[in-house]
Amino acid sequence: MALLEALITTVTGAASATFGVAGRRDRHQTGQDHQWSRDQQLVAYQELLSHYAKFTMVIKRAHADHRGWDYDRAEWSAVLTRVSLIAPAEVAGEVDSFGQSVDRFLDRVAREVDPVRTPLGEEEFREAGA
């Protein structure tokens, strides 16, 4: 009987240690997964803001120089989609609202006016961006 009790105690102790280590490893992996996800979100947010700044400056420069402009709007749409896919729901909603605001801005400064013939002045451009 003493041998059976010792065996049960040993097996129970080994199982507890194994599951404890596995549990810590799972928690560690979950933490790493969370960090990886946050890193991916930050990269996507930086990319979104970078594209926004870039095409805003391209359009602003076109108005200032009375010339046409060209920007890959498909890439802008792709960045918006990427952010929406990896962002938490509330952030994705805000990104969607931001995208709609940018679309209204583009209507005012890029689709409804011709920067070659009727460029916007600095103040008009700033008002459109507001």
Mean pLDDT of the chain: 80
- The pLDDT score that the predictor gives to residue 110 is 85
Burial 61-95 (b: 16+ CB within 10 A, else e): ebbeeeeebebeeeebeebbebbbebbeeeeeeeb
The structure's pTM equals 0.67
Q: Which of these ranges, 2-11, 23-32, 33-42, has the smallest mean pLDDT?
A: 2-11
Q: With bands split at pLDDT 50, 70 and 90, how would you rate the model's confidence at 74?
A: confident
Burial 19-53 (b: 16+ CB within 10 A, else e): eeeeeeeeeeeeeeeeeeeeeeeeebbeebeebbe
What are the pLDDT digits (tens) for 91-103?
899 999 999 999 9
